[in-house]
Structure formats: C-alpha cells, structure tokens
Structure 1
Amino acid sequence: MKKEIIISTSTTQNRVAITEDGNLVDFFVDHPEKQRMVGNIYLGKVARVLPGIRAAFIDIGLKHDAFLHFSDIGDRTEALQGIFDDDDLDTDENDNGEEKPKHEKKEKTFVRLHKGQEILVQILKEPVKDKGVRVTSSISIPGRFCVLLPMDDKIGVSKKITDIRERKRLRRIARGILPDNCGLIIRTAAKDQDEEALSADLKYLVKIWKDIEEEAKKQSPPALLYKDLSTTISVIRDLFTADVSKVFVDSKKLWKEIRNYVQFVQPSLLDRIELYKGEEPIFSTFKIDEQIKILMGRRIPLPSGGHIVIEHTEAMTVIDVNSGRYAAKKEQELNSLKTDLEAAREIVRQLRLRDIGGLIVVDFIDLEDEKNRKKIYDELKKEFRKDRAKTALLPMTEFGLMQITRQRVRENIVQSMTEPCPYCNGTGLLTKTSSVIHEIEKWLQRYRLDGKNKSLILQVHPITAEKMREGFISPLTKIQLKYFIRLKIKEDEKMNPQMFKIYSKKTGEDLTEEFA
C-alpha cells in the first residue's frame, strides 16, 4: 500500500491530506480562525465548583470557562499543585500508590476544589459551538517517540506495537532513561528505534516541562504556559512514520520548516520530504480536490449504485443507507447485504475524514438474517481498527439501526470549514414569500390600532417586493386598501429574504420592533 502526505498551502490556510493508494483517508485544515488548541497547557483559576454534575469550571482566559470533570482530575494533580505550594486539592489514592482501574477512579476519586484556587490544566477537547473547551489536570507532553507524564511513575507502550520482544525492549530502554518524578508512554513511531533516539526525544520533552514549571511560578492566572505544535507540524509528528513513502509540500517556507523539524526528530526520513514544483495546484495533481467535494456533501455514492446520506443534528449525527438499482425479491437479502457492507466501509472512512465525534446512529438497509447483521457489525469493528479515535458500537437492531460513539476532540471538518447561512441560520430552509407577506399584514393589523402615520416605507428583499407587486390587483394594493395605509416599497438586496423593516415616511423612524 502506497501511503502519502500531501500539503497544500495558501495565504489563509494549510490543508493536509493523507492518501492510501490515491484514496483520501485523513484530512486536516489549519487556519487562523480555528487554531489548534488541544494539548495547550494553562495556569487557570477555579471559577465555579458544581458537585451536582461532578465538575468544575476553570477560568483560563478564553471566552467560555473550561470544563473540568472530576474524572479528569488524575492522581498526579496533587503533585502538580506542588508547583504553587498549594495543598487544597485532595485525591483518594491506593495505600501502595498503584494506579486504580479507570472504573474505580471515576467512582472513588474524591476532589475538593474551591473558588479562586490556582490549577494547572491541559486542553483535551476544543470548543464546539457554544460549549467551552474540556480540560484535564493530568498533564502530558507528546513528542515524536514518547509522551512525558510529569509527576508520574508509569511506563506504557502503544498497543499498536504488538511484538512482545519489541515491547519488552522499549520498556527496558524507558526504565533506563526516565528521570525521577516522570512517567512515559512509548508511541507507535518508536518501534525499532534505538536508545539514542528515544533519549534525545525525552530530553527535549523534559526541557519543555522545566520551562512550563518556571513559567507557572512567574505568571498569574489565567495564563497560557505552553502551546502545542500547529496542526500541520503535529500531523508530521504523529503520522509521518516509516510506512509513509512521500510527503509533498507546495510551499518552500513550510517545506524548510518540516525538514528542520524532521532533521531534529528523525533524520532517516528526511529524503522522503519533497517540494512540489508543478504549475497545477497540488491537490488537483493528486486528485484530492474532487474527493474533498464529496467530503463536503451530504450524499456519498457507493460502488454498487447505492449511497449514504449524512445529516448533523444538535444531539447526534444520523447516517442513512440507501440501496441503488432495483433487485429481484429472491436476491433482495444478498443485494442489501452487499450495499450494507459497502456502506459500513464508507461510513468509517467518512467518520475519519470528517472527524465526526459524539453519538452516531446509522440506518442500514433491513436484513432479515441475523448472521448477515453480524457480518455488518464485524465489518465495522474491523474498519474501526484503522481509526486513531476511540470508538464503541452496539450490534444492529431488528430495525436495522446501529449506534456508534466516537471520540470527539474538535469540531468536525465540515463545521470548521463552513459557517451557518445568515439567512436560514443553518437550517437549509427559508420562509416562503407568502408567509413573509402574511407577517407584514399582521404587523399592519397591530399598527392600525395605535399607529399615527398613514404613510410608511416597507423595506424588503427584491424577491418579496416582486411577489407583492405581481398580479392584476397586487397584494400590495389589497393591503393598502384594507388598512387605509400608503406603503412605499424599498428594495434591499442585502436584506434577509425572511425579514422586513417598516419606517415612518415622515420621520424616518424604525417602527418594526415597536409593533412586532
């Protein structure tokens, strides 16, 4: 399998595409309006503690206070608080100092926070719509091969490294290079790396942590102590591994930046970074643009002629699977199974591409045979193994529904690249012109009771104005005769087609809200 990373730059955005045999499998957008925040470390101050929902809100200087759930307050928090010589936070620990199972931690950890308390936190999830960021007090600093866990003593190895001998070798190296009061997680990229490479990466991370400690002592909350790498460089750090054959970049400046970073972390991969010099846009050359158009749409075709439709709601993402060509009754189950299997593979691909998180409900084509339903479930599980985000799914119900949850870290790609239409507010629906005229008439009905001016100016979109003037006896004429009011229509192309404004012709005063 040929795996490549293609990076397209412009004055406002960097776009990173990861392809496997030419097929887009991951897509990232780095732009100034939505700068990457996950991994940033802040010195915050407790704004509110709400034991009822087992959470606290932390002021870190953003628009909304950060959300800190008690389950995200780890055993290391008390040690981290030592930076400020603050003993106000108590956590329940095992007598022998061992880490508790996750399910026990959530139930038994006792947290005591108070308003105004200083606390070190790190962003876990970026803000989504009106929700603020989610943070944790268990600080971790990721590098190329390792993740440093300050004030910890754990050593972990990525589950994706399955070779037992390699896991033991990496653990032995970690124990030999690990400084006091630090834990370490060995990343997948560390496979087959020597002690020198791991040690250099660790020294770099320890230096970052020492700088954070110094900054924390100097600053007053709220303050940003550490900013993680940009989206583009973090993709290189996390995903540019030995199985990637090439990295293509169309910007000389970014090409140099990536080379400098790779020269520092893994020089052996340096010759795989190539500056794209073609005249045609890089995404057009690699046929990425046409795949992005499908990515941004709600309807995605399947090879056998069927398609899936993806809809986003406030609570969940809903995916509908539709069959294509008509199949004879005796082949219906077989055709439905074929379409559902294609849909299962495409759904996982789309969830990864679009970075869709939270609750996802999929309406598959009904299957009568229980064995066939199990095949769909198994296919999804197999495909989700390629996904870096944590996922969980339930078996298909008799109605053909399947429930999936996927880890949400940031806004999905569609949300980050688009914004709600100012006319329909993202619903995709506009009020009919006849309904707008109806609202204008009801306004005039209320105005007639107390209004004094008989000459008014009606400001509307040209579409509404045209509708009001059409016909032998137009709606405008009928309204004027009915309410004994003279209306002068003023067209405004910039106005929302669903809105109208009414002014006094004599004074120019806006009367719209007064009689709404």
Structure 2
Amino acid sequence: MTQALLIHSGIAELEIALLKDGVLERYWSETSLEDDESQTSEGQSRVGDVVLARIKRVLPALNAAFVDIGDERDGFLSVRDAAKRGSGPREDDLKIGSLVREGEARLVQVLRDAIGEKGARIGLNIALAGRFLVFSPDGGKVLLSRRIEDEAERVRLKSIFEAMEVLKSGAGIVVRTAAIGASEEALREDAEYLAGIWEDIVEAQEEDEPPVTLHHELGFIERALRDKVGPEIERVIVDDRAAFNAARAYAVEAMPDFSEKIVLHEGPSPLFADHGIDEEIAALQLSEILLANGGWITIEPTEALTAVDVNSGKHIARSDLEATALAVNTEAAEAIARQLILRGIGGLIVIDFIPMTDGFDRLTEMLAEKLKQAGIQADAARMEGMNIVALTIKHMRASVDRRATEPCTLCDGHGRRRSVSAIARQALRQVERAAAAAPGRPIAMRVGSEIAAWLEARSGQLKSGFSRKGITALRVFPEAQRARDSFSIETMGKETPV
C-alpha cells in the first residue's frame, strides 16, 4: 500500500492530506493568517503550547479551576489534568484546592483547543514531543509505545534511554514508534534537544509575568512531518516553494534520511486537483453524503453532540427487509467512520441506523475498529432497545464544520452558517486556480461586502501569499447586493495591481 502526504500552502491557509493508494484517508487544515478571527479559538492549534498562566478561579463543586492562559476564554483545568500522573492518592480522593490556589502563577500545557464556548483544556503535566520520544520533566521513568511489539527492540530502546544523563534529574520519557530502528546517537540528540527546551522554559518562567506563552509547538507543516511521517510514507509533496523549503529544512535537521523524499509540486494544475481529492475535501462541509447503494447519511453537528441519520433511499435490491437494513447499515457504518475521521469530529456522536433485529454488535465493532485503525480511540455502544449507536471520541480541536462556520446572528445563535473567513478562503482557492490556469493574467474577484472587508483588512498579509502564487494583478469588486456566500472569479485582459 503506497502512502503519500500532500501539503498545500495557500494564500490564507495550510492544508494537509494523507493518501493511501490514491484514496484520501486523513485531512487537516489551519489558517496561516495571524489576525484571522478564528485563530485562537478554531483556527491555529495551540495544543502542545506551554504557558505561564494565572489560576483565576478554583471551583470545589466542579473539582476544577479556570485559568487565564491569555486566550479570549479561560482554560479549564480538571483535577485529573492537575494531578501528577501515576503517583499519590487516587483521582477520586483528590481535591483541586490541594493542587492549585487562586491567584498563583503555574506552568500549564494546552491539551485540547478551545471549541465553541468551551475554553481550552489544560494540564499541569508538561510533555514535550520530539521525533522519537515525548519528554516529561518529572515523569521519572521510561515507557514504550505499545505499538513497539518486537521484544528485542523494546529491550534495546529501554536500555539506551535508561542510561541517558537527562533522566537523572527525575525526567521521564515515552518512546514513540518512530524510534524503532533509530540509532543511539539520533535518540540521544532528540532527548537532549527536548531537555534543552525545558531548561529554556524554566529560565523564562523566572523572568516573565503571566499569562505568557513560553513554548510554542512546532508549526503546522513541521508538526505534520514529525507526527504523521513514518516508514510507510513514501513521499511528501508540497505545492509552494517557501513551504517546501521549510519542510526540507526541518527534515534535514530532524529526519535526514527522509529529506530527499520531500518533493516540490510544479505541475500546471493545483496539487489537490491533480490527485483528485479537491472536490471530496470541499464536500466535507456538506451535511448529506450519498452511499453507493442509493441510500445516504446526514451529519448534523450541534453544540452538545453530532447527530447522524441513516436513510435507505432507493435501496430496493432485496425483498428481505432485514437483509436490506443490514446492507445499508453496514455501508453506512463504514462511510460514517470515514467521515468522522476526515472531518475531525469528536465528542458525543449519536447514530440513528435503519431498524433491524440483529447485527448491531457488528456495527459497533466495525465503527470502533475503523477509528482505531486511524489512531483514534473511541467507545461505541448501542442504546438498549433502540436503533441508535452512541460513540464518544476525545476532542483535540474543532472539526472542519466548526472551523468553517459561525453562529447565525439572525437567529440569536441557535443555528450556524459559513463564516466570512471560510467563504473568503474558498474564494482565494479559486483565485489560485485561475492564476495557475492563466499565468500572468490579471484576475477579477467579485464578492459581497463582508468578504471584501475581510480581504481588505488582511491585504498586507495576503500580498505575500499572492506573490508566492505568482499573482501580480488582482482587483476586488465589492457588490453590496451579492449574497454573502456568493462570489465569482474571472481573468481580465488588462494589468491591474494587486
């Protein structure tokens, strides 16, 4: 099975797609604009950042605390995430008041991005991720990933790390699967690099006032190379020279054996279109997904949960209703698992399948197994006496739908509509296509007033993106009567400055 990682560096966003045998398996995106209104809440991820924070409120009734981490919304610190791992009393016996005090400054790490009205989830146990290991300043032991199955390799890795100087101060290490077969020198360099980052954090802690971020996680591209590239990835294709240089520079430093497998896409058509996945990615924001058998599934996110409905549609190939239900439900279960993975949906997912007598155990097992294969831990169970299966998946960041929509002001926030930034980024993707199809030709962009204002407010940042894509002439025509999510892109005959 061939696997490739595609990286699209657009005018206003970064997108990464994982392909297996040409089929889209995973998708991630992040804004590249520093002042995007979705940056701190649902745009650029803060997971992994280490922050010198201020404990704002301790809530004994919740056994948790709200913490000022410099975001619009306070971070949420539960007693589970405040307690030191693997030592001391059981979590049920701990009280948040014994672990933190109101007003004190503490080092915290972002564990999950803010989603909707919920602030970021944070913890007191710092863990710094590297290429081969995760470094914990007070972990106290060497642990190995369960996916490292070869016993001889486990013994080799554990003996290497247990002899390291960096562990003598009480630090701990979790060895990642990427460490399999790595040289002792490479492993030592990774450990010492992460230990050095921790020393820098401790030093900065003495000099800064909270709230302040003392350590930023790697950038989107570098993070993808570190966490997503393994021996099964044959190549990484990047469609932008600056992004390609950044990826190569990181690889030369952190994974030199892989650096030559990072290549620049220079074809006339856009990278995602060239691999036939652009339309599928655009469809990730649609609620209805058609099934090959004539049925369909509907995915509707809400604040509390994601509801999924299965419909048989035109599936009339069998006269046996039980067999029909099982066939449609089985195909739907596979499609639902794939959509949950691609869309990054977490939290509580409730699936209303077509009624049938038997087979629900098979469906729940299939859903959990498909998610497990993608590295996603999920709990699945049927609701007793109903045709409903409930899934729970740990949230890490906002889903594709959440990042591309905003509360609808016309209905007092009871519904959602596509956000200005999502519509603008879609229009900019079409500008990239037009520029690639007609190099050097001026481009006209006709948009509604809100989109025009968004573009104007970010014109300084966007100019660098236009330059990277070879767009030298663009004119934006605001049209007050145009629908909010409507736009048109066309090439022009005369030169117009960007």
Which bin holds the TM-score, normalised by the shorter protein? Answer: 0.7 to 0.9
Structure-1 residue corresponding to 2:337: 348
Structure-1 residue corresponding to 2:167: 179
CA distance in 2, matches of 1:114, 1:130: 25
Quick one: structure 1 residues 352 and 396, their matched pair in 2 at CA, closer, same or farther if it must change by over 3 Å? same
Given that 1:36 and 1:230 are in contact with CA atoms closer than 8 Å, whether structure 2 keeps it comes out as no
Q: Which of 182, 188, 193 is the equivalent residue of 2:177?
A: 188
Unmatched segments (≥5 aa) in structure 1: 77-97, 430-491, 497-516
Superimposed CA distance per residue, residues 115-171 of structure 1 (whole angstroms, 9 cap, x where no aligned partner)? 211111001111112221111000000011100000221221112222333222222
Q: Which of 303, 306, 324 is the equivalent residue of 1:317?
A: 306
Given that 2:289 and 2:297 are in contact with CA atoms closer than 8 Å, whether structure 1 keeps it comes out as yes
Structure-2 residue corresponding to 1:70: 79
Superimposed CA distance per residue, residues 445-468 of structure 1 (whole angstroms, 9 cap, x where no aligned partner)? xxxxxxxxxxxxxxxxxxxxxxxx
Give how far 1:109 is off. 2.6
Q: Which of 378, 391, 416 is the equivalent residue of 1:391?
A: 378
Superimposed CA distance per residue, residues 217-249 of structure 1 (whole angstroms, 9 cap, x where no aligned partner)? 111111111010122221111001110111100
Structure-2 residue corresponding to 1:18: 18
Q: Which of 104, 128, 142 is the equivalent residue of 1:155?
A: 142
Give how far 1:389 is off. 3.2
CA distance in 2, matches of 1:390, 1:375: 18
Structure-1 residue corresponding to 2:59: 50
- Which segment is superposed worse, 11-20 or 162-171? 162-171
Give how far 1:418 is off. 3.1
**Identical counterparts, % of pairs:** 33
Structure-2 residue corresponding to 1:416: 403
Give how far 1:361 is off. 0.4
Structure-1 residue corresponding to 2:389: 402
CA distance in 2, matches of 1:416, 1:495: 21
Tell me the TM-score normalised to structure 2 length.
0.78
Question: Are 1:276 and 2:265 counterparts?
Answer: yes
CA RMSD of aligned residues (A): 2.1
CA distance in 1, matches of 2:482, 2:316: 50
Quick one: structure 1 residues 420 and 283, their matched pair in 2 at CA, closer, same or farther if it must change by over 3 Å? farther
Unmatched segments (≥5 aa) in structure 2: 37-42, 418-479, 485-498
Quick one: structure 1 residues 326 and 347, their matched pair in 2 at CA, closer, same or farther if it must change by over 3 Å? closer
SS at match of 2:101: coil
Q: Which of 342, 346, 364 is the equivalent residue of 1:377?
A: 364
Tell me the TM-score normalised to structure 1 length.
0.75
Superimposed CA distance per residue, residues 146-204 of structure 1 (whole angstroms, 9 cap, x where no aligned partner)? 00000221221112222333222222222122422210001121122221221111111
Structure-2 residue corresponding to 1:145: 132
Structure-2 residue corresponding to 1:228: 217
Question: Are 1:126 and 2:113 counterparts?
Answer: yes
Report the AA paired with residue 427 of structure 1. Answer: G
Give how far 1:28 is off. 1.0
Structure-2 residue corresponding to 1:339: 328
Quick one: structure 1 residues 108 and 331, their matched pair in 2 at CA, closer, same or farther if it must change by over 3 Å? same
SS at match of 2:310: strand
Question: Are 1:207 and 2:192 counterparts?
Answer: no
Report the AA paired with residue 409 of structure 1. Answer: M
Report the AA paired with residue 7 of structure 1. Answer: I
Give how far 1:419 is off. 3.0
Given that 2:334 and 2:367 are in contact with CA atoms closer than 8 Å, whether structure 1 keeps it comes out as yes
Report the AA paired with residue 116 of structure 1. Answer: G
Question: Are 1:298 and 2:298 counterparts?
Answer: no
Given that 2:296 and 2:332 are in contact with CA atoms closer than 8 Å, whether structure 1 keeps it comes out as yes
Given that 1:242 and 1:269 are in contact with CA atoms closer than 8 Å, whether structure 2 keeps it comes out as no
Report the AA paired with residue 8 of structure 1. Answer: H
Give how far 1:417 is off. 2.5
Given that 2:317 and 2:324 are in contact with CA atoms closer than 8 Å, whether structure 1 keeps it comes out as no
Count residues in correspondence. 408
Q: Which of 44, 55, 67 is the equivalent residue of 1:35?
A: 44
Given that 1:16 and 1:29 are in contact with CA atoms closer than 8 Å, whether structure 2 keeps it comes out as yes
Quick one: structure 1 residues 110 and 399, their matched pair in 2 at CA, closer, same or farther if it must change by over 3 Å? closer
Superimposed CA distance per residue, residues 8-30 of structure 1 (whole angstroms, 9 cap, x where no aligned partner)? 11221111111111221111112
CA distance in 2, matches of 1:168, 1:227: 33
Q: How does 1:339-488 map to 2 (within 5 A)?
A: 339-369=328-358, 372-395=359-382, 397-424=384-411, 425=413, 427=415
Report the AA paired with residue 29 of structure 2. Answer: V
